């Protein structure tokens, strides 16, 4: 998907997501750190009846979720801009 393509062609990141590859890496590092902080805080506040790590596993990694979110936001922005040009 988008994730694999950007890994293969990092110079195309600006064209696909609207930000440079370096900005994307910085954003990913911040998002991963924030995600880990939130999960740690949630785990410390839970009252457990069952063993931890139960439940359904995630289908997408946090990195893939960030990539797809940026890709979708870029597409929405492009669609809104094209609608404004028509009106």
What are the tens digits of pLDDT across the range 1-10? 677 888 899 9
pTM of the model: 0.72
For residues 66 and 28, the answer to whether their CB atoms sit within 8 Å is yes
- The tens digit of pLDDT for each residue in 23-62 reads 999 999 999 999 999 989 988 887 777 666 667 788 888 8
If one compares 72 and 55, the residue with the highest pLDDT of the two is: 72
Higher pLDDT, 52 or 17: 17
Q: Is the pLDDT of residue 87 over 70?
A: no
DSSP string, 17-75: HSS-HHHHHHHHHHHHHHHHHHHHHHHHHPPPSSPTT-SPPPSS-HHHHHHHHHHHHHH
């Amino acid at each position: 998907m988008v994730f694999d393509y950007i890994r293969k062609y990092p110079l195309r990141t600006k064209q696909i997501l609207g930000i440079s590859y370096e900005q994307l890496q910085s954003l990913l590092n911040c998002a991963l750190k924030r995600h880990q902080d939130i999960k740690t805080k949630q785990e410390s506040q839970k009252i457990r009846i069952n063993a931890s790590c139960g439940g359904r596993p995630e289908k997408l990694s946090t990195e893939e979720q960030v990539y797809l979110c940026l890709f979708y936001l870029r597409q929405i922005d492009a669609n809104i801009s094209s609608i404004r040009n028509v009106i």
